[in-house]
């Protein structure tokens, strides 16, 4: 009998199982303290890491002009200038003014319209003169340029309420408060029977957040269900389910708690984090359970079998933890904040899962004696795996040639990859948020905005914008109106100045003289200060574009043309800066393709280095990685050929797939140290197969998701995992046989 000095680390761990489990649980509980700090943020600003130039430009814009957070309520009314519709719309505007964070409500009935009276400019609203002639108000409102296309349609049937909000609303809690208040308001009152819809940043982000939470809960339930089913099929024991599911639960709590402590918010890709950690938590536990089951059935007492199983799987499981964590950590190179945060959290979760496996296994499995099963090699699964391995080994040239053909076909598809997202198409047709967006798009449009901030090169002595800049805005606005069907409304202060000039019997244009323009601006300020302050801050001007939510591919082309046109039209009179919600979305798209390429490159470099160092045969390590890299190339090429746009979800495919599927090769390499390919498949084949089935099942469950980008991500990743399994079972043996022949039998023993 071995003495205390000869006792292995695994024996000591099993003997001190209570202390090990307590330490693991204590670590998880410490991290769980961060859960109350966890928050959810799906705003456009949350897409960027701190210090990003686009985010800083948006911060400057919100500081100077109060931001672009607003709620837009669109109502269909038979005649908004005659009761009963007029009364209902007036009451709706008054009620909207009473909502939290509201600064101003503009509508054809509540916004000020300019009149010239006794040589002065006067601003009056229908809401302040409710007994005036309806026909006169109809004619004046429908002929008032600042309202047309945003506050009212040319036929007078569609009435818009633009509810501007205080910048302090820009928190998830503030936006949720506004969204709930708007929903409650529109569901009550005399206006509820009028066809209507409400959109805007607070409503879109809040509804998207709640939809995301639903997806997270669904992903967790389906992932755990798939994992439990696979474990039951593999081991046929309820006792065997406890360890993997306990490790998974602990890893999830640890990762989410760490996000809370670090101030990393949940985001549009957080549902993927849940599924990843379910798969990571189950994978290594499967290998440990398989080894323990084999050794216990070989006659060893349960605790001794567990100790020897820990000895057997420690090295490959540690290596798979490092490679998986490296694949996830590679996402930390992304400039898209949700992707970076997911990479960090998933990497921490992978490490936590490995630590919990070691901490909880002695307590969970120390007394587990598996029921009798057919001898290894007699089960259908083993026979199938052995047959596949032999098929690859017997026809290596054919298998390698087939892989080469697939790769050659996929490579051109990589060049066709481009970033493209669409919030509306991402939602199911019956989703309330999609119905609201489509309601507005079909009638008035303009559910997002881009902003141009202009800083005159030579302000007037009075500090007002120069007349030449104001005049050029008119030409720019006309050009923008015909730029793209998604541009639904363009507005700046010059629109009010031209109308004021016309009311003073001048032409409907900005005066050419700086002094005359400044005088007219002062008159407009006195008549409608809210309108002027919306667009003017000292000499600086704001030009607002209301846009439909279209494919970001189209949005990118639109904004690129605007960026090319601005210096041509305004370069000699003003500096300019482009920002706004639509621009932030566009800039985040620029980072997605870069994330796909850079994260995959980093993951590949780190994984290759780790596996090469562990295998102690660099050539062998590189050879074993081929079946893992090629499936990633194949699915990315397939994405390109199919025209699937790169989104915030599927930009993760390369790094995540590589970091996860390389685990199978690590376990096969470890088995090769004990013998040939068939022996390696006999030892590691079953857990590899079932781990892949868990991966495929968990990610395929996203096909039932309500968010299109998750459905697409699930299909792509499930395909990648299936291709990787086929490559491990067919291509890897073929490569090994070819290598064996090249090295005259030196390899594989």
State pLDDT tens for residues 66-115: 878 899 999 999 999 999 999 999 999 999 999 999 999 999 999 999 99
- CA atoms within 13 A of residue 211's CA, in its CB half-sphere: 24
Cis (ω within 30 of 0) for the bond into 223? no
- Range of lowest pLDDT (252-266, 543-557, 654-668): 654-668
- Range of lowest pLDDT (2-11, 351-360, 679-688): 2-11
343 contacts: CB under 8 Å, gap ≥ 6: 328, 329, 330, 331, 332, 334, 599, 655
CB 271 within 8 A of CB 360: no
Q: And the tokens for 528?
A: 């409608």
CB 254 within 8 A of CB 324: no
CB 652 within 8 A of CB 340: no
Residue 382 is predicted with a pLDDT of 66
Per the model's pLDDT, the better-predicted residue between 352 and 746 turns out to be: 352
Confidence check: pLDDT of 685 > 90: no
Residue 257 is predicted with a pLDDT of 96
State pLDDT tens for residues 234-257: 888 887 888 999 999 999 999 999
Confidence check: pLDDT of 745 > 60: no
Confidence check: pLDDT of 681 > 70: no
Q: What is the spatial distance between Cα 717 and Cα 713, in angstroms, rounded to a whole number?
A: 6
Q: What's the pTM?
A: 0.86
Q: What is the spatial distance between Cα 687 and Cα 313, in angstroms, rounded to a whole number?
A: 12
Per-domain residue ranges of the chain:
4-43+206-423+587-742, 51-205, 458-572
Helix (H, G, I), strand (E, B) or coil at 368: coil
Q: How many helices and strands, by DSSP H and E, does the chain display?
A: 26, 11
Q: Name the band, by pLDDT with cuts 50, 70 and 90, for residue 744.
A: very low
* First-to-last C-alpha distance (Å) of the chain: 31
* DSSP single-letter state for residue 148: B
**503-542 residues labelled b (16+ CB within 10 A) or e (exposed):** beeeeeebbeebeebbebbebbbebbeebbebbbbebbbb
Mean predicted lDDT score pLDDT of the chain: 87
Q: What is the spatial distance between Cα 253 and Cα 255, in angstroms, rounded to a whole number?
A: 6
Q: And the tokens for 730?
A: 């067919």
Residue 262 is predicted with a pLDDT of 93
State pLDDT tens for residues 383-409: 777 677 677 777 888 888 999 999 999
State pLDDT tens for residues 592-637: 888 888 888 888 888 878 777 776 666 766 777 788 889 989 999 9
Superfamily of domain 4-43+206-423+587-742: Multidrug efflux transporter AcrB transmembrane domain (1.20.1640.10)
- Range of lowest pLDDT (287-296, 381-390, 502-511, 711-720): 381-390
Question: Residue 544 pairs with which residues in a beta bridge?
Answer: 451, 491
State pLDDT tens for residues 252-307: 999 999 999 999 998 888 888 888 888 888 888 888 888 888 888 888 888 898 99
Residue 533 is predicted with a pLDDT of 92
Question: Residue 159 pairs with which residues in a beta bridge?
Answer: 75, 152
Residue 682 is predicted with a pLDDT of 65
Q: Which of 231, 286, 238 is nearest to 683 (CA)?
A: 286
Residue 409 is predicted with a pLDDT of 95
Residue 475 is predicted with a pLDDT of 92
Residue 1 is predicted with a pLDDT of 39
- Range of lowest pLDDT (573-577, 657-661, 678-682, 729-733): 678-682
State pLDDT tens for residues 565-591: 999 999 999 999 999 999 998 888 888
């Amino acid at each position: 009998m071995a003495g205390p000095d000869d006792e292995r680390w695994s024996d000591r761990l099993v003997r001190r199982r209570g202390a090990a489990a307590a330490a693991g649980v204590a670590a998880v509980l410490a991290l769980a303290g961060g859960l109350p700090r966890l928050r959810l943020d799906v705003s456009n600003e949350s897409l960027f890491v701190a210090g990003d130039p686009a985010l800083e430009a948006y911060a400057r814009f919100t500081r100077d002009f109060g931001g672009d957070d607003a709620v837009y309520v669109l109502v269909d009314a038979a005649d908004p200038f005659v009761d009963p519709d007029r009364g209902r719309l007036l009451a709706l505007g008054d009620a909207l003014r009473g909502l939290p964070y509201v600064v101003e409500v503009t509508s054809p009935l509540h916004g000020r319209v300019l009149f010239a009276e006794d040589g002065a400019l006067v601003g009056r609203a229908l809401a302040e003169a409710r007994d005036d002639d309806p026909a006169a108000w109809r004619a004046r409102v429908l002929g008032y340029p600042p309202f047309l296309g945003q506050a009212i349609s040319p036929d007078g049937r569609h009435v818009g309420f633009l509810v501007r909000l205080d910048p302090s609303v820009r928190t998830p809690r503030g936006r949720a408060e506004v969204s709930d208040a708007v929903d409650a308001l529109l569901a009550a009152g005399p206006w509820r029977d009028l066809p209507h819809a409400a959109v805007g940043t607070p409503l879109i982000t809040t509804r998207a957040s709640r939809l995301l939470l639903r997806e997270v809960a669904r992903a967790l339930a389906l992932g755990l269900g798939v994992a439990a089913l696979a474990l039951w099929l593999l081991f046929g024991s309820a006792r065997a389910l406890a360890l993997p599911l306990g490790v998974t639960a602990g890893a999830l709590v640890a990762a989410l708690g760490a996000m809370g402590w670090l101030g990393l918010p949940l985001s549009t890709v957080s549902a993927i984090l849940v599924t990843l950690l379910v798969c990571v938590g189950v994978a290594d536990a499967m290998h440990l359970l398989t080894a323990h089951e084999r050794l216990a059935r070989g006659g060893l007492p349960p605790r001794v079998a567990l100790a020897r199983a820990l000895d057997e799987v420690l090295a490959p499981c540690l290596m798979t933890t490092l490679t998986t964590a490296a694949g996830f950590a590679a996402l930390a190179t992304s400039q898209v904040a949700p992707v970076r945060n997911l990479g960090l959290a998933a990497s921490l979760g992978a490490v936590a899962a490995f630590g919990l496996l070691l901490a909880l296994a002695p307590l969970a499995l120390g007394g587990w004696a598996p029921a009798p099963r057919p001898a290894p090699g007699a089960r259908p699964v083993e026979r199938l795996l052995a047959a596949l391995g032999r098929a690859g080994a017997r026809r290596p040239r054919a298998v390698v040639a087939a892989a080469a053909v697939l790769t050659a076909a996929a490579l051109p598809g990589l060049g066709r990859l481009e970033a493209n997202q669409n919030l509306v198409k991402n939602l199911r047709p019956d989703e309330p948020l999609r119905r609201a967006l489509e309601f507005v798009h079909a009638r008035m449009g303009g559910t997002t905005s881009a902003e141009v901030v202009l800083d005159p090169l030579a302000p007037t002595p009075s500090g007002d914008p120069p007349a030449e800049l104001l005049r050029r805005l008119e030409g720019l606005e006309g050009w923008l109106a015909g730029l793209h069907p998604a541009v639904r409304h363009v507005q700046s202060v010059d629109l009010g100045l031209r109308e004021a000039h016309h009311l003073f019997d001048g032409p409907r244009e900005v005066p050419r003289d700086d002094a005359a323009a400044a005088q007219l601006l002062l008159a407009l300020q006195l008549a409608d200060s809210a309108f002027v302050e919306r667009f003017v801050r000292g000499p600086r001007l704001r030009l607002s574009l209301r846009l439909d939510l279209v494919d970001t591919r189209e949005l990118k082309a639109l904004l690129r043309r605007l960026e090319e046109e601005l210096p041509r039209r305004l370069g000699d009179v003003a500096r300019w800066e482009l920002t706004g919600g639509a621009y932030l979305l566009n800039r985040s798209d620029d980072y997605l393709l870069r994330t796909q390429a850079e994260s995959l490159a980093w993951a590949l470099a780190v994984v290759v280095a780790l596996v090469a160092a562990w295998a102690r045969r660099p050539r062998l390590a590189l050879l074993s990685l081929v079946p893992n890299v090629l499936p990633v190339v194949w699915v990315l090429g397939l994405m390109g050929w199919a025209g699937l746009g790169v989104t915030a979800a599927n930009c993760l495919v390369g790094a995540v797939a590589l970091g996860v599927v390389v685990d199978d090769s690590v376990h096969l390499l470890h088995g090769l140290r004990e013998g040939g390919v068939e022996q390696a498949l006999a030892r590691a084949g079953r857990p590899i197969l079932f781990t892949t089935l868990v991966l495929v099942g968990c990610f395929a469950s996203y096909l039932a998701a309500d968010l299109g980008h998750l459905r697409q991500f699930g299909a792509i990743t499930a395909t990648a995992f299936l291709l990787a399994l086929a490559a491990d079972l067919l291509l890897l043996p073929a490569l090994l046989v070819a290598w064996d022949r090249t090295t005259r039998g030196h390899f594989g023993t």
